[in-house]
Amino acid sequence: MSYTSASALAAGTLVRVPLGRRVVSGIVWDEFASAPSADAGVELRPIGEALTALPPLSTDWCRLISFAAGYYQRGIGELALSVLPPQLRQLTDAQLLGRRAKVDKLLGGAVSASGAGSAPELSAEQSVVLQRLAEQARAEPGATTLLHGVTGSGKTEVYLQAAAQALAAGRQALVLVPEINLTPQLEARFVERFAGHRIVALHSGLTPAQRLRNWLAAHLGHADLVLGTRLAIFASMPRLGLIVVDEEHDPSYKQQEGARYSARDLAVYRGKLEAATVVLGSATPSLETWQRARQGRYHALSLPRRIGGGALPAVRLVDMNKAPKAKGATTPLAPQLVEALNDRLARGEQSLVFLNRRGYAPVLHCADCGWKSGCPHCSAWRVFHKIDRTLRCHHCGLAERVPRACPDCGNLDIAPLGRGTERLEEQLATLLRHADGRPARIARIDADSTRAKGALEAQLGAVHAGDVDVLVGTQMITKGHDFRRITLVAAVNPDASLFSSDFRAPERLFALLMQAAGRAGRDARQAGRSEMWVQTWHPAHPLYEALIRHDFAAFAASQLAEREAAGLPPWSHLAMLRAEARTPQAATAFLSGAAERAAGLAAADAVTLYPPVPTSVARVANVERMQMLVESPSRAALQRFLSAWLPALHELRRTAKSADSRILRWAVDVDPLSI
Ligand code: ADP
Ligand code: ZN
Ligand code: ZN
C-alpha cells in the first residue's frame, strides 16, 4: 500500500494507517518524500500516526524480512507485523514513549560486570575452537560455523565465551535455544555468567508487556545478550555480532504455522547480512547442515571428547525377541534392564527411562466386540489417562470420562492396549525397590505432569537435588539437561520410528537417542560405568549399530547415501502444499486443481509434483487434511516455480464453484520438516 505523509519518514518507521474503515499498523518500507507523487490518477491517503517514539527498524532488519517473506512465500507486511511484539501494534506513540523511557531508565545506564560469574579455564580443545572462531570472524565476517561436539563436550561453555568476546567488542549476541522452558538451567547459566550485563529473553512464554520490554531493550541496543527461541531470530539488534543456534538440528526451529520459517536457516542469512558470526551447535547436526559443512559452505569445528575425559555411555541393545512374552499387549521391561535399574538404586545413582508417549495407554480395547477408543472427530485413538480416568484425544483435545463398560456391547472388561508414561511409571514402581525394601522414588515428567506453572522447575529441581531415583518421561527429559547423577538411560520402545514413512524419522530417532544417551555419565567420575539401554526388536538395524559406536559420521554418511539414491534433501529441495476441507474430496480437488495450474507454467519444467495424499493424521476436529509434495533438484528453480504458482492458487481458492469443493485453508510449506 502507498500513503502520503506530511513529513518525510525514514524507512523502517512504524506507522498507523487507514485501511478501508479500519486503522492498521504498518512499516514505512521505502523512504519517501513528503510531496505526494502524482501517480496516474491514484489518490493516496495520508498516514495516520507515525510512531516516532522509537528509532526506525534498520535496513538490515527490513532486508531480513523481505528475504524471509520471499523465500517462505508470505506477504512482507504480514510477516513483519507477525514477528514484532503484539503490543507494538496496539500502543499509541505516547504510550510507546512511556515504555521506552522505562526501558531506558532500567537498562540504559552504564553497567559494571563485577557481579559476573567466573568462567572455568577452557580445555585445550575449547580454546582451539574459540581461537578459530575469532580468526574466521576476522577473515570472513558473517560466515557460519558448524560446531559438532559430543554431548557434554563443553559446547555451551564455548557459546558463553564467544558471547563474552562479542560483548567485549561492543556487539550484541543472540543465542537461540530450542525450547527455553524445557531447560531453565541453561537460562540460569547465562544469567549467572552475564550478571552485570544486560541480558533479556524472548520467547512465547512471556506476557505481552514483558515481550515488548525485552524487544525494546534489544532494539534500543541496551540488551547485550538476547536468549530466545525461534521467534528471537527476528529481534531487532543494532549491534549484532554473534548468533548461536544451540541444538541446531532441533525441529522446533521450524515454525509450523503462518510463515513457516526456519530460524536456523534465517540465522545463516542474517549472519551474512549483518557480518555477525554464526555458530550452529549440535552433537547430531541436521543432515542439511552436515552436508554443507562437508562441502565447505560452512566452517566445521569439533569437540570430539567430553569435558573431564569422561567416556560416553556404553550402549546396550536388548533383543526383545528373546525377552519373556508379556501378559496383555504391553511391551515388557526386560528382566536385565530391571536388574540394572535396581543396581543403580543400590548404588544411590539415578536413572532415566523414556518413552515417547504420554498417558496411561494409547488406546482402550474391548476384547469381546473389538471396540477401540477412537476419537469421533479425528482419525486417531483417544488416549487413556488413568490419573483422572479420562479418554483424551491428543489432536483435538476432546476429553471424556472413561466409560464403565464397552459402549458397543456392554462388556465390563475393557482393557488398555499398549503403554504410555503413566503406565511405565506404575510398572516401574512395582518392580524397583531399594535394598531395604523402600520403594524407589520415581518422578514423571511429560506434558501432563508439567502443566501447572512452576511444576517442571520443581520436578527438575528434585532430580538435580538427588530426591529422585528414577526419572520417567517423554523426550522432554532427553534434551539439554545437565543432570549430574544419572548413570543409566533407557529407551523402552523406540522402534516405531525405524519404519516411519517420513524420510527424516531415522535422523530424528538417532538424534533423540544420542541426546538421551548424553544425559548419562555427565559427571566424569561416574562416566565409566554409565550406560544407555535400548529395548528393540531389530537389534541388527544399522541405526543401532552406529549408535553403539556413537558414530554420528557413519550414520550421517549412510543416511546421505540413501537420500542421494532416493533424490531426497539435501540432494533435492521440497515444498509441501497442504489443503484442509470438510471432505477429503474437496481438499483433493483443490490440490488437483493446483497441479493443473502448475502444468501451464514455464517454471514447472524443473519441478516434480507428486499426487495428493492424506497427512499422517488425516482428520483432526472434523477437518480433512491432504498434502501434495513439490520437489526440485534446484532451490532456485523451486523458488521460481513457487512465485509463479502462488498467485494461481489464490485465484483457485477464490473461484471454487460449489460449496462442496470449497476448502477451509491452504498453505505452502517451504523446506517442510514433516512429510
Ligand atoms: P555441552 O553443551 O556440549 O553438552 P556443557 O558446556 O554443558 O557441554 O559442558 C558439560 C559440563 O562440563 C557442564 O557441567 C559444564 O559446566 C562443564 N564444563 C564445560 N567446560 C568446562 C571447562 N572448560 N572446565 C570445567 N568444566 C567445564
Ligand atoms: Zn465391546
Ligand atoms: Zn480428536
502-542 pLDDT, tens digit per residue, is 999 999 999 999 999 999 998 888 888 899 999 999 999 99
Residue 125: CB partners within 8 Å, gap ≥ 6?
Answer: 153, 154, 303, 304, 305
Cell triple for residue 411?
A: 462388556
| Burial class of residue 567, CB neighbours in 10 A (0-12, 13-18, 19+) | exposed
- Of 90, 91, 1, 87, the C-alpha closest to 47 is 1
- Which of the 8 DSSP states describes residue 372? B
Instruction: Tell me the C-alpha distance between 494 and 509, whole Å.
Output: 8
pLDDT of res. 329: 47
- Closest residue (by CA) to atom 11 of ligand 1? 152
**Average of per-residue pLDDT values in the chain:** 91
Q: Tell me whether strands 3-4 and 45-46 are parallel, antiparallel or unpaired.
A: parallel
Ligand that comes closest to the CA of residue 623: 3
Ligand 2 center–CA 331 separation, angstroms? 23
Instruction: Tell me the C-alpha distance between 128 and 195, whole Å.
Output: 26
Q: Which atom of ligand 1 is nearest to the CA of 123?
A: 23
Average pLDDT value for residue range 407-430 = 94
pLDDT of res. 402: 96
Share of the chain above pLDDT 70, in %: 95
pLDDT at 623 over 60: yes
Ligand 1 center–CA 637 separation, angstroms? 44
Ligand 2 center–CA 376 separation, angstroms? 17
- Which of the 8 DSSP states describes residue 438? P
Question: Could you tell me which residue, 468 or 22, shows the higher pLDDT?
Answer: 468
pLDDT at 609 over 90: yes
Ligand that comes closest to the CA of residue 484: 1
Model confidence at 31, pLDDT cuts 50, 70, 90, reads low
pLDDT of res. 35: 45
Ligand 1 pocket test target in 153, 302, 307 with most atoms within 8 Å of CB: 307
pLDDT of res. 675: 84
pLDDT of res. 40: 46
Ligand 1 center–CA 153 separation, angstroms? 6
Tracing cell 534446484 back to the chain, one arrives at 634
pLDDT of res. 207: 94
Ligand that comes closest to the CA of residue 312: 1
Please count the other Cβ atoms lying within 10 Å of the Cβ belonging to residue 191. 15
pLDDT at 325 over 60: yes
Cell triple for residue 204?
A: 512465547
Instruction: Tell me the C-alpha distance between 321 and 325, whole Å.
Output: 9
Q: Can you point out the beta strands (E) in 169-274?
A: 172-176, 199-202, 225-228, 240-245
pLDDT at 331 over 80: no
pLDDT at 557 over 60: yes
Ligand 1 pocket test target in 148, 155, 156, 552 with most atoms within 8 Å of CB: 156
Model confidence at 113, pLDDT cuts 50, 70, 90, reads low
Q: Which residues' Cβ are closer than 6 Å to ligand 1? A: 120-123, 126, 149, 151-157, 307, 482
Q: Tell me whether strands 314-319 and 390-392 are parallel, antiparallel or unpaired.
A: unpaired
Which of 99-113, 589-603, 604-618 is predicted least confidently? 99-113
Instruction: Tell me the C-alpha distance between 74 and 261, whole Å.
Output: 10
Ligand 3 center–CA 374 separation, angstroms? 8
Strand-pair partners of 278: 144, 243
pTM: 0.93
pLDDT tens figures, 58-94 = 999 999 999 999 999 999 999 999 999 999 988 888 9
Average pLDDT value for residue range 174-203 = 87
Ligand that comes closest to the CA of residue 381: 3
pLDDT of res. 22: 83
Average pLDDT value for residue range 309-333 = 81
pLDDT at 183 over 80: no
Q: Which atom of ligand 1 is nearest to the CA of 484?
A: 14
Model confidence at 330, pLDDT cuts 50, 70, 90, reads low
Question: Could you tell me which residue, 186 or 303, shows the higher pLDDT?
Answer: 303
Ligand 1 center–CA 155 separation, angstroms? 7
Ligand 1 pocket test target in 464, 482, 523, 550 with most atoms within 8 Å of CB: 482
Share of the chain above pLDDT 90, in %: 76
pLDDT of res. 188: 87
pLDDT at 170 over 90: yes
pLDDT of res. 34: 47
Q: Which atom of ligand 1 is nearest to the CA of 307?
A: 12
Ligand 2 center–CA 405 separation, angstroms? 8
Instruction: Tell me the C-alpha distance between 609 and 629, whole Å.
Output: 6
Q: Which atom of ligand 1 is nearest to the CA of 303?
A: 3
Ligand 3 center–CA 386 separation, angstroms? 18
pLDDT at 653 over 90: no
pLDDT tens figures, 140-167 = 999 999 999 999 999 999 999 999 999 9
Ligand 2 center–CA 372 separation, angstroms? 8
Cell triple for residue 53?
A: 517514539
Model confidence at 39, pLDDT cuts 50, 70, 90, reads very low
pLDDT of res. 43: 64
